[in-house]
Amino acid sequence: MALGGGGSSDCEHMFKLLIIGDSGVGKSSLLVRFADNTFLPNYVATIGVDFKIRTLNINGERVKLQIWDTAGQERFRTITSTYYRGTHGVIVVYDVCSGESFANVKRWLHEIDQNCDVVNRILVGNKDDDPDRKVVLSEDAHRYARQMGIQLFEASAMNNTNVEESFRAIAELALRTKREQQAQMGKGASPDQRGYGGRNSVMGEGGRGGGGIRIGRPGPQKSKSKNSCCK
Ligand SMILES: Nc1nc2c(ncn2[C@@H]2O[C@H](COP(=O)(O)OP(=O)(O)OP(=O)(O)O)[C@@H](O)[C@H]2O)c(=O)[nH]1
Ligand SMILES: [Mg+2]
10 falls in which pLDDT band (50, 70, 90)?
A: low
What is the radius of gyration, based on Cα positions, of the chain? 17
pLDDT of the residue at 76 = 84
3-state helix, strand, coil in the chain (%, to 5): 30, 25, 45
Give the number of the atom of ligand 1 that is nearest the alpha carbon of residue 33: 6
Check if 26 has its Cβ closer than 6 Å to any atom of ligand 1. Answer: yes
Ligand 1 proximity of 24 Cβ (cutoff 6 Å): yes
Residues 13 and 62 sit within 8 Å (Cβ to Cβ): yes
Asked if 86 and 194 touch (Cβ cutoff 8 Å), the reply is: no
pLDDT of residue 185: 84
Torsion of CA 201, 176, 153, 157, to 10 degrees: -40
Is residue 222's pLDDT more than 70? no
Encode pLDDT of 80-133 as tens digits: 778 899 999 999 999 999 999 999 999 999 999 999 888 999 999 999 999 999
Among 23, 39, 40, 43, residue to substitute to test ligand 1 (most atoms within 8 Å of Cβ): 43
**pLDDT value, residue 221:** 38
Q: Number of C-alpha atoms within 13 angstroms, CB side, residue 31? A: 30
Q: Please classify residue 216 by burial: count the beta carbons closer than 10 Å to its beta carbon, then call 0-12 exposed, 13-18 middle and 19+ buried.
A: exposed
Q: Are 87 and 17 in contact (CB under 8 A)?
A: yes
What is the per-residue pLDDT across 162-213, written as a single tens digit (0 to 9) for each?
999 999 999 999 999 999 988 988 876 555 444 433 333 333 333 444 554 4
Q: How many CA atoms lie within 13 A of 197 on its CB side?
A: 11
Cβ atoms of residues 4 and 52 within 8 Å: no
Q: Is the pTM of this model over 0.75?
A: yes
Instruction: List pLDDT tens digits, range 28-75.
Output: 999 999 999 999 899 999 998 889 999 999 999 999 999 999 999 988
Strand partners, 95: 126
pLDDT at 93: 98
Ramachandran area for residue 30 (φ above 0: left; ψ -120 to 50: alpha; else beta)? alpha
pLDDT, tens only, 57-70: 999 999 999 999 99
In short, whether 73's Cβ falls inside 6 Å of ligand 1 is yes
pLDDT in tens, 133-162: 999 999 999 999 999 999 999 999 999 999
Question: How many beta carbons lie within 10 A of that of residue 140, not counting itself?
Answer: 12
